[in-house]
Amino acid sequence: MSSPSALSSEALAAIAKARTKAELEAIELEYLGRKSGRISSLLSGIGKLDPAERAKLGQAANEAKRAIEAGLAARQAEIESARLADIAETEAIDITFPGPPLGRGHIHVLTQVRRQIETVLESLGYQVELGPEVETEWYNFEALNLTAGHPARENWDSFYFTPELLLRAHNSPVQIRAMQRIKEPPIYIITPGRCYRRDAPEATRLPYFSQVEGLAVDHALTVGDMKGTLLYMIQSLYGKARKVRVRPSYFPFTEPSFEFDVTCGICNGMGCKSCRHKGWLEVGGCGMVHPQVLRNGGIDPTRWNGYAWGFGIERMAMLKHDVDDIRLFYESDLRFLEQF
């Protein structure tokens, strides 16, 4: 049988060769295991020895055990530090290395269309005018001839904060504010921005949407001036092949009032499935500004007159890109947005 010191030399040699934590654990079990470890086994016959021998063997066994334990701990530390050094070398972050390329985004299709409309009308001398999205009852309704109890108000079902304050249901309040601010015509403005109505989301409407409205106030403007301006805008956006038309309609804030249509871009006005075989698509409303609306804006209707129009930006984008569901613009689905 090996002596304790021979066993500890043998164990230390094995420890020096070990490369992994698992190998060290196997060595520990082999030599220091409580039941079948080789040091323990050495002591199994110790009861038969005389007391002096017994003490000597016990002491030698304890020394061997401590030497093996110290050897295991030292080698374990070496293996661990080698592992960390290895990680530091192979997985180190080189901060000078270029990062992965970032996908390049682009401007949302509705913003693109809004900017195109602005660019075209600015080239005609119109200025962009903005106003608050939270409006008073007076600016949103009263000043536009939509007095309390007026049946047309049903079409502008609104979100109220108080009986006096609401989310604007259209961008027309900005026209009143612009007239009050500018005071002396000529006035040529467009009012792009968000508005809100109590409509359930569906393919053609949403409770929030974007409008761009236009207002011109000058001397002796005519329906022809308005139609010519809108024709120029439509052809700039959709191409020279498009035609426009106005159809008599009714709005409380214009007199006369019109629906404004543009020829279908798919069939060029011949009629197809997309335009329900009409050849024409509705874009929005327009008309000559009602004298009382001018008065509410502080403009004298005996000296000046004007025309105005209001189109949905989503609607204009749908016509431009043949999109058939308005909700797609707000779902933030990249498969849709990346097409534009």
Is residue 179 a contact residue for Zn ion (CB under 5 A)? no
Applying CB under 5 A, among 226, 264, 316, 323 the residue interacting with Zn ion is 264
| Residue 276: CB minimum distance to Zn ion, A | 8
**Binding to Zn ion by residue 316, rule CB under 5 A?**
no
319 interacts with Zn ion by CB under 5 A: no
Measured from the CB of residue 267, what is the shortest distance to Zn ion in angstroms?
Answer: 3
> Strand pairing partners for 205?
none
Q: Report whether 127 contacts 214 (CB < 8 A).
A: no
110 near Zn ion (CB under 5 A): no
Binding string, residues 274-303; x marks residues near Zn ion by CB under 5 A: xx----------------------------
Say if residues 58 and 47 touch (Cβ distance below 8 Å): no
User: Residue 320: CA atoms inside 13 Å, Cβ hemisphere, count?
Assistant: 22
Task: Single out the segment in contact with Zn ion by CB under 5 A; choices: 3-11, 138-146, 235-243, 256-264.
Answer: 256-264
Nearer to Zn ion, 104 or 240 (CB): 240
190 close to 121: Cβ distance less than 8 angstroms: yes
Nearer to Zn ion, 217 or 264 (CB): 264
- Closest to Zn ion by CB, 168 vs 242, is 242
Label the pairing between strands 244-251 and 134-136.
unpaired
CA dihedral 291, 300, 303, 144 (to 10 degrees): -20
Residue closest to Zn ion, measured at CB: 264
Distances (CA, A) of 164 to 11, 152, 171, 199: 91, 19, 17, 21
**By rule CB under 5 A, what count of residues binds Zn ion?**
6
Instruction: State which residue, 144 or 264, has the beta carbon closest to Zn ion.
Output: 264
Burial of 213 (0-12, 13-18, 19+ CB in 10 A): buried
318 touches Zn ion (CB under 5 A): no
- Does position 337 bind Zn ion by CB under 5 A? no
Helices (H) and strands (E) in the chain, counts: 11, 9
Contacts with Zn ion by CB under 5 A lie at 264, 266-267, 272, 274-275
